[in-house]
C-alpha cells in the first residue's frame, strides 16, 4: 500500500486541502472523490469517532463501507464542543480550501463554527453542506436518512411490482446522489473562486438531487391517468418501450431492451422469428407497447431455454442491448472493472482479502494513485496538528488528557 506521501503525478486536485466533517455515506463519498483526485483530505472526527466508524465497531460488516469511502484520507480527532477544539479547527480552516459537512441544519452554527464565522477566518473558503431537505424551507429540520428520502421523494411509490406495495431501491441511492452532487457543487465553486478569489457556501439537499431521476415516471404521470399505478416492476418506468424487462434463463435472468427498431429486428432474427418483424402486433415499438404481455412472453419462451452466458454472447454479437443479472460476488470479480482499475483486491488488516473501489472519475495522463487504507481513529492527529497548527507533543498529551483530541 502507499505511504502518506502522494506518489502519483498530475493529479488534478493536488495541493487542495479539504477539511472533511462528513459522516456515513453522503459527505464521505464527496470527499473520497476529492482524495482520489489528489486532494489532501483531513477527516475530522469526534474522539468517539463518526457514526459509521462506531457502527463498524459493533458490526464488522459495516466496516467495509467505511473503508470504501475513507480511503486515501488522513484522520484526526477534535472535540468541537471544547473551546480549544474549536480553536484548532479554525486554525485548520484558515489555510484550507474546502470545509465539508453533512450534519443536520444548524449544528455547525450552534458550535460557533458555521459558515458566517468561517468565512471571516478564510474568505477564500468553499463551505459545503449536505442535508436531507436543505438549509431553508419549512421542511429543513426533518430527519433524513436514505430510506426516508426514498420515501418522501416518490422513489418508493414507483418501485416494485404494479400490484405490490411500495419498495425501496436496494442501494443507498439518495445518499450517493447527494454525495455526487455535493462534489459537483464544490468543484463548481472552486472554478468560480479561481476567477474571483472569493469563497462561497454550497449546499445540497438529498431530496432535490433525487427528483430528476423521476424523469420517465413524470412523463408517464403527465401523459396518462394519474390514478394508475406508476409501479412498473422491471418494465420501462414510463411504459414507453418494449421489450424492456428481465427475462428468465436456464440459470438466472437476463435484461433485454430494444430502444431502436434495428434492435428489435436483430432480436427477432436471433429468436428465429423473422415473421415478428412485419407482424402488425410487433412491427413497431408502439404496437409492442400495446401488446407488452405477449411481447414479453415471446421473448421469455426463447430465453428460458438458454443460459445467461449464451444469451449475453448472442445478443452482444447481434448488438441487442442486454446483460445478465449478476450476483454481488460476480460483480466483485468482474474482470473488466479489475482490468480498468476500478476494483482492486487488497489485503486489509482487519477485513482480510477484500475488493475496494477506486474513483469512477478518470483523468487523462495522470498516474494511478495507490489506495491507502482509511485512517484508524486519530491516526494522523499528531502529524496534522503539529504540521498545520504548531501543536507540540507535550501539548498534544495535555489535549488528550483534557478530551480535546
Nine cell digits for residue 23? 459522516
d(C-alpha 350, C-alpha 371), whole Å: 16
Q: For residue 224, which phi and psi values (nearest 5 degrees)?
A: -135, 180
d(C-alpha 346, C-alpha 356), whole Å: 7
On whether the CB atoms of residues 42 and 17 are closer than 8 A, the answer is yes
The alpha carbon of 262 is separated from its chain's Cα centroid by a whole number of angstroms, namely 34
DSSP per residue, 58-115: H-GGGHHHHHHHHTT-EEEE--TTSHHHHHHHHHHHHT-SEEEE-PPTTHHHHHT-SH
146 labelled catalytic: no
Q: For residue 257, which phi and psi values (nearest 5 degrees)?
A: -140, 140
Please state, in angstroms and as integers, the Cα–Cα distance from residue 272 to each residue in 106, 266, 298, 299, 302, following that order. 64, 10, 11, 11, 9
**Close Cβ partners of 335 (under 8 Å, ≥ 6 residues apart):** none
Strand partners, 346: 354
Where does 304-354 have alpha helices with state H?
308-317, 328-332, 335-340
d(C-alpha 15, C-alpha 178), whole Å: 25
CB-neighbour burial class of residue 365 (10 A; exposed 0-12, middle 13-18, buried 19+): exposed
d(C-alpha 40, C-alpha 12), whole Å: 12
d(C-alpha 345, C-alpha 362), whole Å: 19
Strand partners, 202: 128
d(C-alpha 37, C-alpha 9), whole Å: 11
From 97, 146, 175, 296, active-site residue: 175
Nine cell digits for residue 299? 421473448
On whether the CB atoms of residues 85 and 404 are closer than 8 A, the answer is yes
Closest CA to 165 of 152, 156, 174, 153: 156
Active site (catalytic) residues: 175
Amino acid at each position: 500500500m502507499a505511504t502518506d506521501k502522494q506518489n502519483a503525478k498530475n493529479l488534478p486536485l493536488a495541493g487542495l486541502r479539504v477539511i472533511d466533517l462528513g459522516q456515513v455515506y453522503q459527505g464521505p463519498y464527496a470527499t473520497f472523490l476529492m482524495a482520489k483526485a489528489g486532494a489532501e483530505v483531513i477527516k475530522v472526527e469526534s474522539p468517539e469517532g463518526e457514526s459509521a466508524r462506531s457502527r463498524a465497531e459493533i458490526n464488522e460488516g459495516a466496516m467495509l463501507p467505511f473503508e470504501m469511502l475513507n480511503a486515501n484520507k488522513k484522520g484526526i480527532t477534535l472535540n468541537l464542543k471544547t473551546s480549544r477544539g474549536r480553536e484548532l479547527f479554525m486554525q485548520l480552516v484558515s489555510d484550507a480550501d474546502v470545509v465539508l459537512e453533512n450534519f443536520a441544519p444548524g449544528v455547525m452554527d450552534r458550535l460557533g463554527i458555521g459558515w458566517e464565522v468561517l468565512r471571516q477566518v478564510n474568505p477564500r473558503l468553499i463551505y459545503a453542506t449536505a442535508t436531507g431537505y436543505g438549509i431553508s424551507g419549512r421542511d429543513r429540520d426533518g430527519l433524513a436518512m436514505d430510506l426516508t428520502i426514498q420515501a418522501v421523494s416518490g422513489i418508493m411509490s414507483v418501485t416494485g411490482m404494479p400490484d405490490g406495495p411500495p419498495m425501496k431501491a436496494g442501494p443507498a441511492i439518495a445518499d450517493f446522489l447527494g454525495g455526487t452532487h455535493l462534489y459537483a457543487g464544490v468543484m463548481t465553486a472552486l472554478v468560480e473562486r479561481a476567477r474571483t478569489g472569493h469563497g462561497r457556501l454550497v449546499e445540497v439537499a438529498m431530496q432535490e438531487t433525487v427528483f430528476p431521476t423521476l424523469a420517465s415516471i413524470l412523463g408517464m404521470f403527465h401523459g396518462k391517468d394519474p390514478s394508475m399505478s406508476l409501479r412498473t416492476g422491471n418494465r420501462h418506468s414510463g411504459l414507453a418501450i418494449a421489450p424492456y424487462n428481465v427475462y428468465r434463463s436456464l440459470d438466472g435472468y437476463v435484461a433485454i431492451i430494444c430502444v431502436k427498431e434495428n434492435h428489435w429486428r436483430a432480436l427477432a432474427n436471433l429468436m428465429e422469428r423473422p415473421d415478428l418483424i412485419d407482424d402488425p402486433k410487433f412491427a413497431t415499438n408502439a404496437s409492442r407497447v400495446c401488446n407488452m404481455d405477449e411481447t414479453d412472453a415471446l421473448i421469455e419462451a426463447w430465453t428460458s431455454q438458454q443460459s445467461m452466458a449464451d444469451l449475453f454472447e448472442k445478443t452482444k454479437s447481434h448488438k441487442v442491448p442486454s446483460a445478465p443479472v449478476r450476483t454481488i460476488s460476480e460483480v466483485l470479480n468482474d474482470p473488466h472493472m479489475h482490468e480498468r482499475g476500478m476494483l482492486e483486491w487488497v489485503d486489509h488488516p482487519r477485513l482480510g482479502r477484500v475488493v475496494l473501489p477506486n474513483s469512477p472519475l478518470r483523468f487523462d495522463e495522470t498516474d494511478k494513485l495507490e489506495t491507502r487504507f482509511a485512517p484508524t481513529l486519530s491516526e494522523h492527529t499528531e502529524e496534522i496538528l503539529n504540521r498545520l497548527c504548531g501543536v507540540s507533543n507535550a501539548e498534544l498529551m495535555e489535549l488528550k488528557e483534557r478530551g480535546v483530541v
